[in-house]
Structure formats: C-alpha cells, structure tokens
Chain A
Amino acid sequence: MHLKTALRGATALSVCIAAGAATAQDTTLTIATVNNGDMIRMQALADDFTSRHPGIALDWVVLEENVLRQRVTTDIATQGGQYDVMTIGTYEVPIWAAQGWLEPLSDLPAEYDVDDLTPSIRTALTYEDTLYAAPFYGESAMVMYRTDLAQEAGVEIPAEPTWQDIMAAAEAMTDRENEVYGICLRGKPGWGENMAFLTAMANSYGARWFDMDWQPQFDSSEWQAAVSDYITMMTEYGPPGASANGFNENLALFQQGKCGMWIDATVAASFVTNPDDSAVADSVGYAMFPSKDGVDNRGNWLWAWSLAIPESSDAKDAAKQFVAWATGRDYTQLVADRDGWRAAPPGTRTSLYQNADYQAAAPFAEMTLKAMEAATPDTPSAQETPYTGGQVVAIPEFQGIGTAVGQVFSAALAGQMDADQALQNAQQLTQREMQRAGYIQ
C-alpha cells in the first residue's frame, strides 16, 4: 500500500516537473555523442537545426569516449531504445549493421550528395551495399612535429619518414631539463587508445594480428620488433607517465609545447594549429605515418566518427533529418562561418579538399587527404589476413581482446614487465579468448 501510494506520489511529482520543462515540440531526439571538440561545436551550432525544424527538440548526452561506448552498446544490444542518434565509429558500423541494429540511411535527400563522401570512409560505413551511418569527421594518422624544435636540433623529418628517421629525430629533440620530450605516443590502455596506435605501428612493421587460421601472431618477429621499438622510444624520449596518456592527454601536452613529435589521428592537426588553445600553433609540420625500411605499409589507420540511428529509435524520420544536417555540406559552411575554415570537420567530403578557402586556412589538408587515401583497411598488413580493418580487427571480439592486450602493453610501458614478457602474455590471452569465441580449437 505504502509503496504504491508513494510511487504514485513520486510519479506525480516527476510529471509535474517534466510538464514545467515541456515545450511545444512534438518530437524530442536524444543524441549520444563523444565529448570531443568537434562534437561540442555541433552541440553549440544545433540552434541552426532547431530553428529550421521547429517541431524537433534535441536532448544531448555528451560523454567521454569509453563511457559513451559502453552506454550505447548496452542500449543497442538490449534494444533499450534510449537514443535516437548515436555517435559510433567505423569499427562498430558494419558489425552492428550485420546484427540488424541500425536503420539504413538509403533515402537521404538529393542535396545531401552521398557521392561527395570520401570513398574510403563511405566504404567503411557501408554493409552489403547499404549505407548505415553518416560520417561526422574522418581521420587517418600522421606525424605532427615541431618545426622550430627540429630546426634547433638540426634534424629534418622527411615527408615520408621511416621509423629510423623518427627515432633519430626523437633523440635529437628530447630536452628533459626543459620538459621537452622528443616523442609523444598513446600509452593509455584500450582498443581505441594504445592498441589503435600499436596495431597501426605493427602493420607498418609487416606484422598481423592473426594468421589465416586465426592463430594470434604476437610471437612473430615483426610484433617483437614493433613493440620493443615502441617501448624503447617511449622510455627514452617520451613524457613521464606515458602509460596513462591517450589522444586527449597527448593533445594537451603537444599544445603546451612539451612534445617534439606526436604520431596520432590527423584530426588533431586542427587543434594543434588553433592559436586560442595551442602555444605552438605557428610551428607545426606534418609527415606521413612512418614505415619500416623494406615494408611498403604506412599503418592503414582509418576512422570516422559517424552518426547512426538505432533500429530501436521511435523518431527515425526526425533523426534522419538531424543526421543529414550534422553531416551535410551546409554544416561545414556553418562551422566555417563561425570558427573559420580551419575548424571544418575534416575527412568526410571530397569537396572540402577542393575548396580553395579550406586549402588556404588548413595547412594540414593536403597531408590529411594523402594519409586517408593511402589507408587500405581491407588489406591491413603486408601479410595475408583473415580479417579487415586498419588500426582495428573488424570482429566483434576485438573490443574485449584489444582492451585486455592494451592493458598488457600499457603495463610493459609502465615498466612492470619487458617487451618479450608482454608479447608472451598478449599471445596467451588472445589465444584463450579466440578459443572461447570458437575461432580456434
């Protein structure tokens, strides 16, 4: 009795408060997104959308990447229906589309111009000839370095460097007294953090995750070389506490002028050259992702944060209108008008790279495009692979395995074990998980 009355009371109370907040709109979209700079800008610009669509109100759920991923995956896998638009990556899209969890984006309006989307990204977001998500921004990986420090140290970083060039430059630029570290790389564990970088680096060393029988390959000499070089570079020329640094931490370090080089997502270029946030905006140079002597592979990093609509949404039409707005050409123009062309969301549209204003405002445009065109996620390694995916392995189990292996390499970077021990652990752990998942006996 008490419980019922009380619940009714609480419900009534909630209804009253909700009613106070309710407005004239008929549809409310709940949009889940990452707290990255570009998405926060999208939120700030959303008035443009709501003024064009007065019947649609927007609710934002803006979370840190890991938390967001856990929330949306739980929701979509249980058909919870809490979100109408989800921000997901190129890794999730084909896997989720195969499960029938995503609404196809086949009937986008003509002015959206689907054919303008960057081909490699469009392919990555397509499953069985149907587009399932619209790219918000796309990226590959490249080297960003301080031209002033390189000059001071008397080193030159070629436009297409090898790992040897990078190591030599890192050594020359390191100046621990003044808190300048030759190279900053991801060390924070996670399949989308340190493993994204390490997988790309291993690809460029000619390594692969699995052989054609799905046997893990961490015991190969290629992985051995990649991981030991990574740990050597980071311990000798990297910043302190590197095993806790992800993309955002390294971005902050680079912006403060504490990194000589940083190899990471191309999207970072627009942040490190933004004079409002970056102390080194004027002296950033770019180079392709390094390769190893004798291996023709530059990592094959390809990623796009994309907007998708879950099958469980009850406002699919309004959601489609929003997705078309946020990833359309007009949005790019809107960003350019407000924050300048340099800030335009990169990597998703061919037309952007033909735009003279953009080329003038974004010195990194050429290298970004070149890096994205060079990435071939369908053939990640020089060796034959049973899987696709550049800095990821496109199987559902990869999230779990990648995170666990990421912890092992992070521990090695923190000095808890050496490279050989870490590779051995990674090998055992991956074997165990692949057995559990039924890939190998």
Chain B
Amino acid sequence: MATQHSRAAARLMISPAVVVLLLWMIVPLALTLYFSTLRYNLLMPGANPFVGLENYRYFFTDPAFTTALVNTLLLVGGVLVITVGGGIALALLLDQEMFGQGIVRLLVIAPFFVMPTVSALVWKNMFMDPVNGLFGYIARAFGAQPFEWLTAAPLFSIILIVSWQWLPFATLILLTAIQSLSSEQLEAAEMDGAGFGSKFLWIILPHLARAITVVILIQTIFLLSIFAEILVTTGGGPGVASTNLTYLVYIQSLLQFDVGLGSAGGVVAIVLANIVAIFLMRMIGKNLDA
C-alpha cells in the first residue's frame, strides 16, 4: 500500500517529466496562439497589428484546406490498410518453417531504419522517375509507356513510399504476436477439422487484435505529421493533390512566410490531431490495460 510519504516521493519523481513537457507544449502553443491573431509576415517586419480571427477566416476559406484534410485522412488510412494487411500476410508467411528465416527477417525489417528523406529521394529518382527510373525501364521493356507516378498518382505514390517504410514495423510486431500464439490451440482446431480460413478468422485474428491496435496507434501518431516524404517527392502537387495539413501549414508559414496564417493553421492542425488522439487513446487505453 502506498503511504503518504511514497505518494509525495512519487509526485516528486514524476514532476520533472511533466514540467518539461508542459513547458514544451505550453510555451510554443501560447506563442502560436498569439501569433495566430496577428498580421505577421516575416518578410514585412513592422507593427504586426492585432487582427482577431482574420487569419482563421483565411485559413478555413483557403480552397486547399478541404483537400488537405481529405488527403491527410487518405494518407493515414491508406498506409494503415496497406501496412496492416501486408503486415499480417508477411507475418503469417514468416511464421512458417523455412531456410534462412533470420536473414529474410533482416531483409524485411531494413526499410524501417532508412531516413525518410533518403527513402523519398531514392524512390522518387531511382524508381518512380518516368525517364530514368527503374519502373519506367521495366514498362518500356514490356513495350508500355512509363507510368508517371508522381504526377499522375501523387498521393498514391506517397502512400506507397510511406507504406514501404512502415511495413517492416507492422510485420515485426504482428510476427511477434503470432509467435506467441500457443500451438495447442491451433492443433486443437486442426483436430476439429478447421481449415486455414476458419483458423485465421476465429483464432489468429482475435489473437492479433491487441497487436493491430498498437500498430494503428503508433503509426497514426507518426503518419499524421508526414512531411519530409511530401517535401522531397511532389512538393504537395501537382496543384494540391498531395498536400496534407502539415504540408499546408508549411506552405503558409515557411514558403509564404506568413507566420500569422501559418500559426492559425498550426492551431487548427493541433486541434484536429488532438481529436484523433483522444479517439485513439480511448481505443488503446482499453486494449493496453486488458
């Protein structure tokens, strides 16, 4: 039982972490909130007058806003579907007996360690480039016109690149979960004459539920703020076809140097991220305590 004394000690031990994170959250957030009410362009220093909610009005009426919102959801959703689906399939495959399993595992896990900038540069130039890329070469070898990945299907291409980076993560976690499944359970099911389909649906998938939740939570945190991959490959274009919210805020605050508008966008993005956060926390909170 915790005593008064140990509670006080505990509070003392938690406080450094809470204090620094609180500072980290509140100071920039307060400044951002303040800037979002000013007409503040870095390129035009001056009085920076207070303009109330004007920046928010401009941000919400920006024709790119809805597209960016939809793109953000498509990007997160698309990557989650590919990595979770692909991850389950790969995990089931890697769980089978085979020669050189350790090496295959190393091959599959490797993309996770590649810097996002590097992977975006490599995919953009050496694979997806219609003239010099490998995909273009393969298409021409089969007598087809090379597909213009980054201009004809920009968001899809980015989803593919990001999925490549996160597939190893999903695979590893799901594989570990599958390996913890007791073989007696599966054997019992086999005795009862269950085929692979029903085994998967009734035993494996429920067993993986918790791991899948974890994959979704962690990936969502990182996927909501995807930035480097877009900057390097498409620059959010053509048009705004591959602009997500983070990138839209970037365009406004760092390409147009409109700190006021960018801050308003930042506040909106923070609010939206926290809505998603609360939703996810509920989900993960239940699953983690179980």
Direct touching of A and B (C-beta under 8 Å): yes
Encoded as 1 (CB less than 8 Å from any B CB) or 0, chain A from 333 to 360 comes to: 0000000000000000000000000000
Is the pair B255, A70 in contact by a Cβ cutoff of 8 Å? Answer: yes
Is the pair B256, A400 in contact by a Cβ cutoff of 8 Å? Answer: yes
SS class, residues of chain A in contact with chain B: helix
Q: Does B264 contact A (CB under 8 A)?
A: no
C-alpha spacing A232/B41, complex, angstroms: 38
Q: Does B258 contact A (CB under 8 A)?
A: yes
Closest 9 CB pairs of A and B: A411-B239, A400-B256, A77-B42, A414-B238, A241-B130, A240-B130, A411-B238, A396-B43, A241-B148
SS class, residues of chain B in contact with chain A: loop
Q: List 21 A-B contacts (CB under 8 A).
A: A70-B254, A77-B45, A95-B43, A179-B131, A189-B235, A190-B235, A239-B130, A239-B131, A241-B150, A244-B151, A253-B131, A396-B43, A399-B255, A400-B256, A400-B258, A407-B237, A410-B237, A410-B238, A414-B152, A417-B239, A425-B63
> How big is chain B's contact interface, by range?
35 or more
Is the pair A78, B238 in contact by a Cβ cutoff of 8 Å? Answer: no
B251 touches which one: A258, A403, A411, A436 (CB < 8 A)?
A: A403
> Given A240-B130, A436-B58, A403–B148 Cβ distance below 8 Å?
no
Residues on B with beta carbons closer than 8 Å to the beta carbon of A14: none
Q: Does B132 contact A (CB under 8 A)?
A: yes
Q: Does A388 contact B (CB under 8 A)?
A: no
A370 → chain B, closest Cβ, in Å?
32
Is the pair A240, B237 in contact by a Cβ cutoff of 8 Å? Answer: no
Q: Does A441 contact B (CB under 8 A)?
A: no
A30 → chain B, closest Cβ, in Å?
20
Residues on B with beta carbons closer than 8 Å to the beta carbon of A66: 235
Nearest residue (CB) in B for A429 is B63
Residues on A with beta carbons closer than 8 Å to the beta carbon of B160: none
Q: Does B241 contact A (CB under 8 A)?
A: yes
Q: Does A321 contact B (CB under 8 A)?
A: no
Within 8 A of B (CB), among A1-48: 1-3
Residues on A with beta carbons closer than 8 Å to the beta carbon of B20: 3
Count A/B pairs, Cβ under 8 Å: 103
Q: Does A298 contact B (CB under 8 A)?
A: no
A44 → chain B, closest Cβ, in Å?
23
C-alpha spacing A2/B16, complex, angstroms: 8
Nearest residue (CB) in A for B128 is A241
Residues on B with beta carbons closer than 8 Å to the beta carbon of A1: 16
> Given A70-B254, A403-B251, A240–B146 Cβ distance below 8 Å?
yes
Residues on B with beta carbons closer than 8 Å to the beta carbon of A243: 151, 237-238
C-alpha spacing A241/B152, complex, angstroms: 8
B241 → chain A, closest Cβ, in Å?
7
A155 → chain B, closest Cβ, in Å?
24
Is the pair B42, A416 in contact by a Cβ cutoff of 8 Å? Answer: no
Is the pair A416, B41 in contact by a Cβ cutoff of 8 Å? Answer: no
Encoded as 1 (CB less than 8 Å from any B CB) or 0, chain A from 371 to 401 comes to: 0000000000000000000000000110110
C-alpha spacing A408/B243, complex, angstroms: 13
Q: Does A73 contact B (CB under 8 A)?
A: yes
Within 8 A of A (CB), among B203-258: 234-241, 251-252, 254-258
Question: Which among A1, A77, A415 has the highest number of chain B CB atoms within 10 Å?
Answer: A77
A151 → chain B, closest Cβ, in Å?
24
Is the pair B238, A73 in contact by a Cβ cutoff of 8 Å? Answer: no
> Given A3-B20, A241-B148, A244-B150, A99–B235 Cβ distance below 8 Å?
no
